[in-house]
Structure 1
Amino acid sequence: MFAHLSALVGGLLTSALGGWGFFIGPLVIWLMKKDEMPFVADQAKEALNFNITVSAIFLLLLIFTILTIGIGALLTIPVALVVGIGALVLVILAAIKANEGVAYRYPLTIRLVK
Structure 2
Amino acid sequence: MSDPYGPPPSDPQEPQGTPYGNQPYGQQPSGQQPYGTQPYNQQPYGQQPPGQPPYQQPYGGSGPSNPDERTWGGAAHWSALIGAFVALAFLGPLLVMLVKGNQSAYVRAQAVESLNFQLSILIYGIVSFVLAFVLIGFLLLPIVGLIWLVFTIIGSVKASNGELYRYPLTIRMVS
What TM-score do you get using the length of structure 1 for normalisation? 0.84
Task: Give 1:10's match in structure 2, choosing from 83, 96, 102.
Answer: 83
Indicate the structure with greater helix content.
Answer: 1
What secondary structure does 1:32 align onto?
helix
CA distance in 2, matches of 1:49, 1:56: 11
Matched residues, number: 102
Task: Give 2:98's match in structure 1, choosing from 31, 36, 52.
Answer: 31
Deviations 1:70-90 (A, max 9, x none): 3x2x32122110111111110
Structure 1 gaps, min length 5 = none
Q: Report the alpha carbon displacement of residue 64 of structure 1 after superposing the two structures with TM.
A: 2.9
Higher-RCO chain (CA-CA 8 Å, sequence separation at least 6): 1
Q: Report the alpha carbon displacement of residue 59 of structure 1 after superposing the two structures with TM.
A: 1.1
CA distance in 2, matches of 1:61, 1:37: 36
What CA RMSD, in Å, does the superposition of the two structures yield over aligned residues?
A: 1.1
Aligned partner of 1:89 in structure 2 is 150
Structure 2 gaps, min length 5 = 1-73
1:98 aligned onto 2:171: no
What TM-score do you get using the length of structure 2 for normalisation? 0.56
Q: Which has the larger radius of gyration?
A: 2
| AA of the residue aligned to 1:57 | Y
Q: Report the alpha carbon displacement of residue 33 of structure 1 after superposing the two structures with TM.
A: 1.2
Calculate percent identity across the aligned residue pairs: 36
Aligned partner of 1:64 in structure 2 is 131
